[in-house]
Structure 1
Amino acid sequence: MDRITALRARRAGIIEQMEAIVASVGENEDLTAEQQSQFDALRAEDDRVAAQLSQAEDLERRRAAAARPAAPLPGVTAPVAGQPAVPAQPAEKGLTFARMCRTIAAAGGIPHVAAQIAEANGDGGLFANQNMGSGPAGGFLVPEDVSTEVIELLRPASVVTAMGPRMVPMPNGNLTTNRRATGANFSYTGEQTDIDATGYTYGQVKLSAKKLAGIVPISNDLLRASSTAVDRMVRDDVLADAAQIQDRFFLRGSGTDFAPKGLRWQALGTPFATTHIMTMTATPDLQKVTNDLGRMELALGNANLPYTGAHWTMSPRTAMYLTNLRDGNGNLAFPEMQDGQLRRKPVHVTTEIPDNLGGGTESEIMLVLPQHVLVGEHMGIEIAMSTEAAYKDSSGTMQAAFSRDETLLRMIMQHDIGLRHLAAVSVLTGVTWGAA
C-alpha cells in the first residue's frame, strides 16, 4: 500500500508539471522545441509510472482475494455459517465532514497530499468525489452528500431553522415568488343583480443569495490526533459557530446588499409596522406581561394567521425572567417554561437577541409563524484551510495562526430569508423584563 501511495503521488507531481508547461503557452501559440521535449519526457515518465502503478494495484487486489480469514481471538466466538451478521451501527453524522477538514489541514492544503494521508489512514474514498482545487489556500467544495448532512445538523442548532421554516432551493442564486397581499371579497347578492368582480392582489418575495462566512481556529495538536473524539469536536465547533452567525442575520440582519434582512425588520416600512411592532407596557408586572404576550398573539390572529403554531424567540435574560415569574400566591406564572414552552408554543432562546438595546437594558421578543418563513439555499458548503492566515478573535484582537500553531477553517454558505406573509412575525420591543 505504501508503494501504491508513493506511485500515485509521483503521477500527481508529473501531471502538475505537464499542466504547468501547457499553461505557460498562449492560446494561439505552440510549444517551443524545448518545451515539447520536456513534455514528451514527462509523458513517457508518466506512462512508466502508470504501468508500475497498475501492476502494484493488480498485485494488491490479488493479495486481498487470496487472503484467509484470521483465526478468532481467544474468548471470541466465530460467526456460524448461514447465521445473519449483526448489522453495523450507522455512522455518526458529520464525522466524515470533520475527517475531511482534519485531513486537508494536516496536508497543509495540498490536495494530492491530503489524498495520500486519507489513503494511509484507511479513508481512500474520502476525497474521491470532490474538487479540492477550488481555493488558493487548500479550499475545497464539500461533496453534496456530506454537505447535505452537515446542513441537516446545522438546522436544529440554529434558532431560526429549528422552527421548521420552508426551505427552498435557489440554484441560480435568486428566487422571486408571489405573496398574497389581499384576498377576494365575496358578498351576498340578489337575483339578477350584477356580482362585483373582486380578486387577489399580490406582492413579491425576492430572495437573493447572501454569503454567510465564518472562521473557526482549530489547535494543530488536535488535528495531529486521529480519533473520533477529535472529529466530533471539529464538527461541533463548526456547527456552533455557523449556527450563531446564521441566527445573527436571520433574526436581526439589517438587510444590506450583502446581508439578509432579518425577521425583526421584515415589516418595517409596511402597513404591518404599526400593528405588529409594539412596545412593552411600562412598569411590568404579571398582568402587564400577560397582556403584552397576548397582544403579540392577537397581532397574528387579526391577520387570520393561526398563532397557535407560532414560536417564541427571546434572550436568555427574558426567558429566565418568565421562568421565575410568580403570582401573588408564590406559584410559578408560567411553569411550562421549564419545558421550553410558553402559552403552549415552543420557546427558542438565543444570545443573538441582545439585552442592551435602547437605553442599554432593553431587549426584544419575537413571535414567528414558521410556515410563512422562506429560507432559500443557493449552494452547499465551501471550506478553505490556512495555517498562516491571521484572524480576529472574539474580542477583536488580531491573532496569527502560525505563531499559535493553529489551523483556520473558513466555511461559506449562501442563502437568504424572507416572509410569504409579512404579518407572520410580531415583535415586542423595549423589553426590560429581568433587567437590574
Structure 2
Amino acid sequence: MTLREMQARKAEIATELRALNTAHPDALPTEAQTRWTELSTELAGLESRMARQAQIDELDRTAPADRIGGGAPVQPEIRVAGFDEPARTPENFDGLFLRTQEGQTVPVLEARHSLASFLPATENRAQELGLGGFLRALYRGPQTELERRVMSESSIGSGGALVPVPVAAGILDELRAATVSFRAGCRTVPMGSQSLTFGRLTKTPVGAWRAENAAIVEDESTFDQVKMTAKSWALRCKISRELLEDGQNVDSIIRSAFAASGALALDQAILFGDGTANSPLGIVNTPNIQTAALNGKLTNWDPVLDAVLDLENVNAGKVSAMIMAPRTNRAIRGFKDANGNPLSAPADVSTIPRLTTTSVPVDQGTDKNASSIVMGDFSQVYVGMRTSLQISVLNELYAENGQIGFVAWMRADVLVVRPQTLLTLTGITQ
C-alpha cells in the first residue's frame, strides 16, 4: 500500500468512525463496538506505517547519490510468501533458489532449513505476544501496548485475521518438523502467490557419440509444464474462556495442536492425496510413479531389495527414506532367519531411514487389510506452502458452554518433479 493509498484509507476510516459516533451518541451497541475496535486497530496500524514510511522517505531524500556505474552490484530481491518486506537470506542458507517470471527469488527449503530464519529483521514484536496472546487479543480486543502494536500490524476482517508472519512462520516450522515427509527429504517451496508454474522432465534425454560432420541424433526427451496451486485445509477447535484468559501454557498447547493436526493432514496429502475435492495430488497417485506388488506378508528383506533394484534400473539416485505404517515397521523389526534369530538388514538398505506415520493406510486392497511402503528420492517432491496462516474466532457457536471456537486455515500443494524416482510397494498384509 502506497503512502497515498494509506492516506485515502485513513480518511475513509475517519468518516466511518464519525458516522458510528453520530448514530450512537450515548453508547455503542455490541456490533457497533466491534466495528469501532476493528477500525481503531486498523487506524493505529496505518498511522504507524505512515510514520515509518515518512522516515524512510526523508532518509532517501537526504542520502547521497550513487555514482553511475559505481557501487556494489544490485542483489536479487528475496521474497517469501506472507512477508510485507523483502526477506533476508540467512548467512548459513545452503539450499536452492527458484526465480519467478517477475524476477523474484524464492528459496527451496529442506528439513534443516527454517521459514522463520527468512523473516525481515524489523518484524519481531509478534513473537513476544505468541499465538496464545494473539488469540486472546483477537477475542477480547487488544488490552496492552504490545497487543495494540501487534494487532495494528495484522490484517483483520470479517473473514478472520492473518496471524502475524513471525508467529505463522514459527507454527509452520513446527508443522514441518512434525511432518514425516519432510524428514524423508521433501522440499518446501514458499508460495508468494496462489500458483507457481514449473517445467518438468518426463523422460531423461539420451545423447550419442558422433563422427566429425555427422548429423546429431535427435532424442525424444519430453518436457511438460505443471502448475502448483495452493489448496485449502481447515481445522476447527474450541477452548474454554477461562483457559484462554488464564492458562499459562495456552500458546504452546494451541501451537502443538495446530502443528500435529496439520502434519498428519499434510503427510496424507503428500503421500496419498488423490487430487479430488480441492486436495493435492500426492506421490502415490501421480502418473509414472513406479509400483511393485507384494500381495502378502512382509517376512524378509527380498521385496525391499527388489524395490531398490527397480529404482536403480531407472537411475533414480539415492533412496532417501522409506515411509510406512507403524505395523509394517513392526513386521520388519520382527524379521527372523531359519533359526529364529533376528534378521539384520542388508548393507544396501541398512542405511535407509525407516519412517512411520499413521497417514499410511492399513485398509487398502479388496480385503481392506493391506498397506504400502513409499520409498525413493523424496528430494524430487516439492511442497508449496503459503506462509500466511488465517484464524477466525467463533464467538457465538460454543457460547452456551462458555467456550470459544477458532478456525485455522493452511494452504499448500504437492508436486512430484521426477515421478520415476519414487516407488510404492503395495499389498503388504498382516
Contact 2:155 2:161 in 1 (8 A): yes
Matches within 5 A, 1:130-169: 130-135=154-159, 139-169=160-190
- Within the alignment, does 1:180 sit opposite 2:194 as a pair? no
1:84-103 deviations in Å (ceiling 9; x for gaps): xxxxxx99989712321243
* Alignment of 1:355 onto 2:362: yes
SS of the counterpart of 1:361? coil
SS at match of 1:345: coil
Equivalent in 318, 325, 335 of residue 328 of structure 2: 318
The DSSP-based 3-state class of the residue aligned with 2:330 is helix
Unaligned runs of 5+ in 1: 1-14, 24-33, 39-45, 51-89, 108-113, 390-400
Conserved? CA contact 2:317–2:421, under 8 Å: no
| 1:249 alignment partner, SS class | helix
Q: Residues 311, 201 of structure 1: CA spacing in aligned structure 2 closer, same or farther, 3 A cutoff?
A: same
Distance in structure 2 (CA, Å) of the matches to 1:232 and 1:202? 46
1:367 Cα deviation from its structure 2 partner: 0.6
What letter corresponds to residue 377 of structure 1 in structure 2?
Answer: M
Q: Report the Cα offset of residue 362 of structure 1.
A: 0.9
Q: In structure 1, the residue corresponding to 2:267 is in which secondary structure?
A: helix
Aligned to 1:82: none
Q: 1:163 to 1:220 in 2, by over 3 A?
A: farther
**Distance apart, 1:409 and its partner CA:** 1.9
Q: Residues 250-306 of structure 1: CA distance to partner in whole angstroms, max 9, x if unpaired?
A: 221110251101111013xxxx35xx12211535432xxx12112222232222111
User: Aligned to 1:405, which of 398, 402, 406?
Assistant: 402
C-alpha separation in 2, matches of 1:182 and 1:404? 59
In the alignment, the residues of structure 2 paired with residue 93 and residue 411 of structure 1 have an alpha-carbon distance, to the nearest angstrom, of 18
SS in 1 for 2:156: coil
TM normalised by structure 2 equals 0.66
- What one-letter code is carried by the residue in structure 1 that aligns with 2:350? R
The structure 1 segments of at least 4 consecutive aligned residues displaced by more than 4 Å after TM superposition are: 15-18, 20-23, 90-95
Q: 1:189 to 1:213 in 2, by over 3 A?
A: same
Q: Highest Rg: 1 or 2? A: 1
Matching residue within 375, 380, 384 for 2:388? 380
Percent identity reads 25
Maintained 8 Å contact 1:217/1:407: yes
The letter of the residue matching 2:142 is: A
SS of aligned partner of 1:188: coil
Which of 94, 101, 115 does residue 142 from structure 2 map onto? 115
Q: Is 1:327–2:330 an aligned residue pair?
A: no
Match of 2:304 in 1: 293
Matches for 1:208-357 after TM superposition, within 5 Å = 208-227=229-248, 229-256=249-276, 258-267=278-287, 272=288, 276-282=290-296, 284-286=298-300, 290-308=301-319, 310-334=320-344, 343-357=350-364
Task: Provide the rounded CA distance (Å) in 2 between the counterparts of 1:283 and 1:415.
Answer: 35
Measured against aligned partners, the alpha-carbon deviations of 1:357-412 in whole angstroms (never above 9, x if no partner) come to 221211111014221101112341001121333xxxxxxxxxxx334433222111
Partner of 2:191: 170
* Equivalent position of 1:97 in the other structure: 131
8 Å contact kept, 1:323–1:335: no
RMSD: 3.4
Point out where structure 2 has 5 or more consecutive residues left out of the alignment. 1-11, 27-35, 41-123
Normalising to structure 1: TM-score of the pair?
A: 0.65
- Shift of the 311–283 alpha-carbon distance from structure 1 to 2, 3 Å rule, reads closer
Assess, with a 3 A threshold, how the Cα gap between structure 1 residues 126 and 326 changes in structure 2: closer, same or farther.
farther
CA–CA distance in structure 2, aligned partners of residues 335 and 103 of structure 1 = 54
Q: Look up the SS of the partner of 1:186 in the other structure.
A: coil
1:238–1:94 distance in 2 versus 1, CA, 3 Å = farther
Alpha carbons 2:363, 2:369 under 8 Å: kept:
yes
Q: What is the alpha-carbon distance in structure 1 between the residues aligned to residue 296 and residue 185 of structure 2?
A: 33
CA contact (8 A) 2:126 2:164 kept: no
* Matches of 2:345 and 2:312, distance apart in 1: 24
Whole-angstrom distance in 2 between the partners of 1:302 and 1:143: 48
Change in Cα spacing, 1:185 to 1:173, as seen in structure 2 (3 Å) is: same
Equivalent residue number for residue 420 of structure 2: 423
Write the distance in 2 (CA, Å) between the matches of 1:351 and 1:180.
Answer: 32
Cα separation, 2, equivalents of 1:305 and 1:405: 56
Against the structure 1 CA distance between its residues 363 and 226, is the aligned structure 2 distance closer, same or farther, given a 3 Å change threshold?
A: same
Q: Which amino acid aligns with 1:216?
A: C
CA contact (8 A) 1:311 1:347 kept: yes
Question: Take 1:235 and 1:248, find their aligned partners in 2: how far apart are those partners?
Answer: 20
Q: CA deviation at 1:317?
A: 1.0
Aligned residues: 321
Report deviation, 1:224: 2.5
Once residues 129 and 411 of structure 2 are traced to their aligned partners in structure 1, the CA distance between those partners, rounded to angstroms, is 22
Question: In structure 1, what is the Cα distance between the partners aligned to 2:177 and 2:128?
Answer: 14
Contact 2:185 2:321 in 1 (8 A): no
**Partners of 2:126 and 2:350 in 1: how far apart?**
36
Q: Is the 8 A contact 2:169 2:387 kept in 1?
A: no
Distance 1:284 1:417, change over 3 A: closer
Is residue 253–residue 262 contact of structure 1 (8 Å, CA) maintained in 2? yes
Q: Distance in 2 between matches of 1:283 and 1:214?
A: 36
Partner of 2:58: none
Could you tell me how far apart the structure 2 residues matched to 1:384 and 1:92 are?
18
Contact persistence 1:315–1:352 (CA under 8 A):
yes
